[in-house]
Amino acid sequence: MSARRIVFTSGKGGVGKTTTTANVGAALAKSGKRVVLVDADIGLRNLDLVLGVEKRIVFDLVEVVEGRCQLRQALIKDKRLENLSILPAAQTRDKTAISEAQMAGVMEQLSALCDYVLIDCPAGIEHGFRNALAGASEAIVVTTPEVSAIRDADRVIGKLHERGMPVRLIINRIRPEMVRSGDMLAVDDVTEILAAELLGIVPDDEEVIDTTNKGEPVALVPDSRLAAIYAKIARRLEGELVPFTVLSAPSFLERLFRKAG
Amino acid sequence: MINEVVQDEVPATGTVRRPRGRAIVVTSGKGGVGKTTTTANIGTALAVLGNTVVMVDADVGLRNLDIVLGLEARVRHHVLDVLEGKSTIEDALVSDKRVPKLRLLAAAQTREKDDVDTAAFRDLIGSLRDRFDFVLIDCPAGIEKGFVNAIAGADEAIVVCTPEVSAVRDADRVVGLLGDDRTVQLIVNRLRPALVRKGKMLSVEDVNDILHLPLLGVIAEAPDVIVSTNRGQPVALDPASEVGEAYRTIARRITGQDTAAPEIPREKTLFGKLFGGRS
């Protein structure tokens, strides 16, 4: 059995690639899948922080490529889920430290060890982007409903199509009240422009800031609204037909109530 | 007539003896922290103060500064056209719609960062410094070739950082790469005072405990920034906007007109929200 290898990419930075990779991975692992998360952002790694394992890093992706350690030695097990692991990026090297062929080789090795390899791509479309794509067979494009993010996502989708890679879309940080007031693009606008299959819609939520700072993926927080959304994304990845949650703007009373509660 | 205005306000090389302009790169490491928005707003505010300003989009392949300024339909030539001799600098400069002394030099959208020769880009920034008071360079995310190009011609840097652990870590790495030869200042962007109070967001102090940089300004998270970006109208032009005023203050601090320590946005009380208006 060989794992599915999915790259999370966006073009524009800061739209939530790392957070999405961590949470989709955590949701898949929670449902029993064996998942390895790979940080391809050599020099600017952050996936380790989002998962709270930054102090446990001994070896990294570049050291695996250079044969300084075994692949299994570089994998760090998640604190909460034993079937979730991360392969961290090197922090003090740059993206040219590894080639596309070397990256593809490591992803191939990883896919013998698990059900899903999720690759967190760096921002931009330079060498690091090409490396991150090298070992992947499918792509999830993360975007936010902003003109600049959509333009960059469009450019990236073009590059993914050139490689014949299947593309699905997660629209992140939707603010229903801003969509309603006409100050933010709606989901339909985004999917129409990008013409890609929709995998998930994730609302903007302060909880992400807090859980990210704490190094705990929100997908693992019990009773969290976002955890339910990431769980649905995981089921869709597994091929299940799961209806999309209709995001409505909370009314004034709901907001008061939520603040009070 | 437009040409006359350009001639008048932006002298070509050698026509007027003037001190060289300042070249400032706006960078961050992490993407999406607000580099482009910061560049657009500081550039606009500096031009409103009476300075000649050119903003250079160094994000070849993923340009966005033109969108944030609402100038995307007016771009005819780009940086690579200039570097490859297909266009003069004058022809490639796009005049801003609203602010007379403001120009944009757009990035190429269908090319790669590897196509840009670092030395040639540095020289281009040098010749822009001969014509403008300020050259603001909008750096791409990351620390690859695009970053190396963007910082090459700049003798000053503004590091934009949001109060998040990952952004601080990336900013710290970038400060190291910028080296000791450049003046480096910090803008903390998208601060949410209410979250800081609840202990759910890093404070400006927390950020600067790690980065140890001179603080140029602090910008609060505000929905009007998203709206202004989508509409292509920098918030620095909105006299009623608090964030706009924060950018105008930063511009005055850059020129030395304002020497007070940067103000840290405070949490609004419900009373202030209801009755404080937007002052």
Quick check: A61 pLDDT over 70?
yes
Which one of B69, B165, B203, B206 would you mutate to disrupt binding with A, by most A Cβ within 10 Å of its Cβ?
B165
B191, B197, B198, B199 alpha-carbon torsion, rounded to 10°: 70
Residue A259: pLDDT band by 50, 70, 90 thresholds?
Answer: very low
pLDDT for res B273:
60
Distance CA B216, CA B188 (A): 8
Mean pLDDT across chain A = 93
A34-60 average pLDDT score: 97
Angstroms from A43 CA to nearest CA on chain B: 8
**Region A4-257: CATH code:** 3.40.50.300
Cβ-based neighbour number of residue B187 at 10 Å: 26
Quick check: B1 pLDDT over 60?
no
CA-based nearest residue in chain A for residue B113: A126
pLDDT for res A183:
86
pLDDT for res B40:
98
pLDDT for res B19:
83
- Tell me which of A59-63, A152-156, A176-180, A240-244 is least confident: A176-180
Q: What is the DSSP string of A83-151?
A: TEEEEPPPSSS-GGGS-HHHHHHHHHHHHTT-SEEEEEPPSSSSHHHHHHHHT-SEEEEEE-SSHHHHH
pLDDT for res A261:
36
pLDDT tens digits for B189-212?
Answer: 999 999 999 999 999 999 999 999
pLDDT tens digits for A81-140?
Answer: 999 999 999 999 999 999 999 999 999 999 999 999 999 999 999 999 999 999 999 999
**Domain assignments of chain B as residue spans, ordered by start:** 19-275
- Least CB–CB distance from B31: residue in A12, A184, A209: A12
pLDDT tens digits for A15-28?
Answer: 999 999 999 999 99
**Region B19-275: CATH code:** 3.40.50.300
A179 vs A247, more confident: A179
Which one of B112, B115, B166 would you mutate to disrupt binding with A, by most A Cβ within 10 Å of its Cβ?
B166
**Domain assignments of chain A as residue spans, ordered by start:** 4-257
By C-alpha distance, which of B250, B215, B213, B257 is closest to B235? B250
pLDDT for res B4:
40
Contact yes or no for B166 and A126 at CB 8 A = no
Quick check: B8 pLDDT over 80?
no
B156-185 average pLDDT score: 96
Distance CA B24, CA B20 (A): 13
Contact yes or no for B200 and A209 at CB 8 A = yes
